[in-house]
Amino acid sequence: MKTAVVAFFNNKGGVGKTSLVYHLAWMYADLGVRVIAADLDPQANLTSAFLDEKSLEELWTDKVHSKTIYGSILPVIKGTGDISPPYVENVADNLGLIIGDLNLSSFEDELSSQWTDCMAGKERAFRVISSFGRILRHAAKAQEAELILVDVGPNLGAINRAALISADFVVVPLSPDLFSIQGLQNLGPTLMKWRREWKERIKKNPDPSLEIPKGGMQPIGYIVLQHAVRLDRPVKAYERWIRKIPKVYREEVLKDKPGTIQTPQEDPDCLALIKHYRSLMPLAQEANKPIFHLKPADGAIGAHVQAVQEASKDFQRLAFEIGKKVGFKLESKQRVERPLAGEV
């Protein structure tokens, strides 16, 4: 079974990337897709969204970090062996988590130096650079996962390069502002550079039995997170930036001619425009669940009820759209309604 690996990447932070991965992982699980959420961001925000503080304390104070991504790569970092079989936390039916770790940042320098050594055909260099990809593959096989959603940090560093070459597909979350436009202009050429450089290195792999990632990194579209329009940011400014997105995405990420598309709503590369649901996010964080699982007991009453329903529809549509792009057939999948603790 082929598992699709989809990375969510933008070198500009604060665009709601981690929240997207978290909610999409839950939505796919609800749709009956066996999914793994992989936290490859050293800030480990995705992990803290899934797990409570007590669980995190136990995981991160374990001296060997046996249940985190860092524990899986620790033998590689120390030079004492290859990757350890990854632990996947069972969050819910159909939903597993590869747990992030703040210590992952220490892998940056090693990944940077070994990237150069790959050109010399050194076996250890390929084992280091392919660590994330092989961990994801092992986890997918053990869990019989159909889909892996990967969260990475907002930068263009060596950790993200190793994470991205492990991905089949890339989704770009954006905000309608200058910083996201600038981020696209940096991100597009960088993805192409990484893809090209990895293909050059693959030819020099000295061990044909070492299954290294192919580095597809195919961009399948972008998602616009629509911030609420504030008094200090007029509607005209919002419209100005959101209209620039299709052209910049097509030119910088796809290297295509921009065409005549004027707005993301018209753009086939726009996977969705998602509201921020600001009033629901604090409730969801307090209840430790996605916003479309909120119940009246969680404080989702009055106008919140309709917002919960809208969020569910938004994320279900997005899940189907990404599914189409990566080759999933979700038409036969049925939404799973998950009972809450104490409910019959």
**End-to-end distance of the chain based on CA atoms, in angstroms?**
36
Q: What are the residue boundaries of the structural domains of the chain, listed by start?
A: 4-326
Mean of the pLDDT values across residues 298-314? Answer: 88
Give the whole-number percent of the chain exceeding pLDDT 90.
65
- Tell me the C-alpha distance between 151 and 35, whole Å: 13
User: How much is the pLDDT for 89?
Assistant: 96
pTM, whole model, 2 decimals?
0.93
CA dist list (Å): 327 to 5, 168, 212, 321, 341: 12, 12, 22, 10, 35
Give which of 171, 187, 181, 184 is closest to 240, Cα–Cα: 181
Compute the distance between CA of residue 7 and CA of residue 19 in angstroms, rounded to an integer.
Answer: 13
Inform me whether the pLDDT recorded for 160 exceeds 60: yes
The arithmetic mean of pLDDT across residues 275-289, rounded, is 85
The pLDDT assigned to 344 comes to: 30
pLDDT on residue 231: 43
The 10s digit of each residue's pLDDT in 179-191 is 888 888 999 999 9
Q: Taking residues 321-340, what's their average pLDDT?
A: 73
The average confidence (pLDDT) of the chain is 89
Phi-psi region of 224 (alpha: psi -120 to 50; beta: other; left: phi over 0): beta
Does the domain formed by 4-326 have CATH 3.40.630.30? no
Identify the band that residue 120 occupies on the pLDDT scale cut at 50, 70 and 90: very high
Per-residue pLDDT tens digits for 209-262: 999 999 999 999 999 987 554 444 556 677 888 889 999 999 999 988 767 777
- Report the alpha-carbon distance of residue 293 to residue 23 in Å, rounded: 10
Cα-flanking dihedrals φ and ψ of residue 162, to 5°? -65, -35
Quick one: average pLDDT of 298-323? Answer: 90
Mean pLDDT of 148-162: 96
